Amino acid sequence: MNSAVSEPVLIGIDWGTSSLRAFLIGAEGEVLDSVSSPEGIMHVPDGNFEAVFANLVGQWMTKARLPVLASGMITSRNGWVETPYETVPLGADDLARALVPHRTACGVELSFITGVTTEHESGPDVMRGEETQIIGASALGMSDGVFVMPGTHSKWIRVVDGRIEDYATYMTGEIFSALRGHTILGALIEDGPFSAEGFKQGVTAGLKERSSLLHDLFHVRTLPLMGKIAPTMVADYLSGLLIGAEISAGADRGNKDGRVTIIGRNDLADRYETALGIAGVDSRRAPDDIVAMGHFLIARSAGLLL
């Protein structure tokens, strides 16, 4: 493919809570152009999504009216249009059938990709946006395996034959912040550069079989209290302990080939790569812009491509 001469066929928007990204997508699913904005759904003045949308895609609509797909928290209760959840297992075709069309005041047609849920007895899981990334990754030589999306609420997703078979959410990132900021565990933390040793010790403790997080967390206090680790190691020990506990549960969920694909490009994703290594689990990184490929595949399955 040659993106220099490719004509755009689709606009994809990944519209999250705190930011958004929009993509101009070519005939092979490749990204021709993209734009980022801090106008996540929590930062849209007066809920005027229409204005943000018009400003965002207007630059790409000069020649032709392109079809537009939007995914992410934009379809939640606090978003533009609330859509229902589809239930796993599902693939691009199911998400294509479940698209929710919307016509803007300016007469532009767009389609919302719905969220995805699970129906486990212990309780449902919910996601909005991640399913589109996974569908995209599955087209890039990653149609089977276990994926992790590190974050405030990490997702562990099992993909079989390009379809989302099952997944689970872990509140690791948000719990880290609450424990650090609002419990006694923060009291002995001293800021400093990343402590690889503190992180490693934490991961090792978190990976331990038959351990209890409610108990192990107390060591985040006692280890520095008794002089066993330095105060500048404590935050990374806590981070490692939680990520280790998450990996211990998540990497085990129906992981046949023993490898995990990490989706994400930030420092947090680097931590997961390190922690998976400590756990003895092979990992690889998903390519960038898989969400745009997800938009492309779902739009194609829905017959929406220009």
Q: Which residues bind a second copy (CB under 8 A)?
A: 117, 122-126, 153, 168-172, 174-175, 177-179, 181-185, 205, 208, 211-219, 222-223, 225-226, 228, 242, 245-246, 248-250
Are the C-beta atoms of 184 and 221 separated by less than 8 Å?
yes
Nearer to a second copy, 203 or 304 (CB): 203
Six token digits for residue 136: 């995209």
* Interatomic CA distance for residues 155 and 142, integer angstroms: 17
Nearer to a second copy, 5 or 214 (CB): 214
* Interatomic CA distance for residues 283 and 171, integer angstroms: 21
Q: How near is the Cβ of 63 to a second copy at its closest, in Å?
A: 42
Q: How near is the Cβ of 249 to a second copy at its closest, in Å?
A: 3
Q: How near is the Cβ of 92 to a second copy at its closest, in Å?
A: 24
* Interatomic CA distance for residues 88 and 148, integer angstroms: 17
Six token digits for residue 177: 């912040």
Please name the helix (run of DSSP H) or strand (run of DSSP E) that holds residue 175, with its range, or none: helix 172-182
Nearer to a second copy, 62 or 122 (CB): 122
Q: How near is the Cβ of 182 to a second copy at its closest, in Å?
A: 4
Please name the helix (run of DSSP H) or strand (run of DSSP E) that holds residue 180, with its range, or none: helix 172-182
Q: How near is the Cβ of 167 to a second copy at its closest, in Å?
A: 10
Three-state secondary structure call for residue 104: coil
Nearer to a second copy, 79 or 136 (CB): 79
Nearer to a second copy, 63 or 215 (CB): 215
Q: How near is the Cβ of 90 to a second copy at its closest, in Å?
A: 17
In a 10 Å sphere around its CB, with 0-12 CB exposed, 13-18 middle and 19+ buried, how is residue 305 labelled? middle
Q: What backbone torsions phi and psi does residue 36 show, to the nearest 5 degrees?
A: -115, 155
CA angle 292–298–299, rounded 5-degree value? 85
Nearer to a second copy, 50 or 216 (CB): 216
Q: How near is the Cβ of 174 to a second copy at its closest, in Å?
A: 5
Nearer to a second copy, 208 or 265 (CB): 208
Task: Using the Cα atoms of residue 90, residue 92, residue 97 and residue 103 in order, give the sign of their dihedral.
Answer: positive
